[in-house]
Amino acid sequence: MQTSVQLPTDPAVQYLLRIGDTCLILGQRLGEWCGHAPIIEEDIALTNVALDLIGQARGVLTLAGQRCAPALDEDQLAFLRDERDYRNPTIAELPRGDFAFTVLRNAMLSTWLKLLWERLRDSGDAELSGIAGKALKEARYHQQHAADWVVRLGDGTEESRRRIEAAMAQLWPYVAELFDDDAVEAAAEASGLGPPASSLREPWLAEMAEILGEVHLPMPKQGNFRSTGKQGVHSEHMGYILAEMQFLQRAYPGGAW
């Protein structure tokens, strides 16, 4: 049984993992739709989004791994960490749900990622800036695809309306975490690595309001629930994702793939 890799406490690594793990885990969830989407054309479209996200994950995880000592590669990070060392916000790991849940989560996270990549083009880390330039184009497409679907479902049939409203109620409590600041975010801002989480809140709300406004889908009231994925304390869903994702690497230590 392959044992886990250990991570440094370097806040820059934590910051990068928050981004890379979001792409990784969301990509993992979207990949679950392959062969099961409502129509083949959409199968292909969702898989494209998943592929883009996996590509982004590879770039960011590689970067994070280079800052570890000893250095770790993208696969060691993706497949051999303990659950508590994954730093994606909890919203990314929630089960894919129905199609309404998937497109609404995609709209939320692609908007968040788009705003993040926009700012990361100015990162003091040249490689991260390069990754951001490419990822931004992908995020724009993802946002357009997801937003179009939110509108179709929000103003489609009674059933689709009911489902998108239900998705909103389920997802909204997990949004707050995206914009929480802490020492990791502060260090990233101070070092010029990237923007602090809170700086994205207003632009995100504005863009989401535009998308949701098209179909008069109100944003629920902010409650007191706080998810804690960014701190490495995940929901019960994370364990199952990792069990599947990590299985081969754990079961065949030293394997070549």
Q: Which amino acid is at 155?
A: D
Short-list 68, 93, 67, 75, CA closest to 232: 93
Single residue of 2, 4, 10, 43 touching other proteins by CB under 8 A: 43
Minimum CB–partner distance for residue 233 and other proteins (Å)? 23
Short-list 63, 4, 12, 60, CA closest to 183: 12
Structure tokens at 85: 């060392």
Single residue of 145, 174, 195, 207 touching other proteins by CB under 8 A: 145
CA angle 18, 11, 8 (to 5 degrees): 95
Count the Cβ atoms, other than its own, within 10 Å of residue 236: 7
- Measured CA to CA, the distance from residue 37 to residue 230 in angstroms comes to 30
Q: Taking CB under 8 A as the rule, does residue 252 contact other proteins?
A: yes
Q: Taking CB under 8 A as the rule, does residue 205 contact other proteins?
A: no
Minimum CB–partner distance for residue 201 and other proteins (Å)? 29
- Interacting residues with other proteins between 150 and 169 (CB under 8 A): 151-153, 155-157, 159-160, 163
CB 45 within 8 A of CB 146: no
Single residue of 34, 169, 186, 209 touching other proteins by CB under 8 A: 34
Contact residues: other proteins, CB under 8 A? 24, 28, 31-32, 34-45, 47-48, 50-51, 54-55, 57-58, 61, 74-75, 78-79, 98-99, 144-145, 148, 151-153, 155-157, 159-160, 163, 244-245, 247-249, 252-257
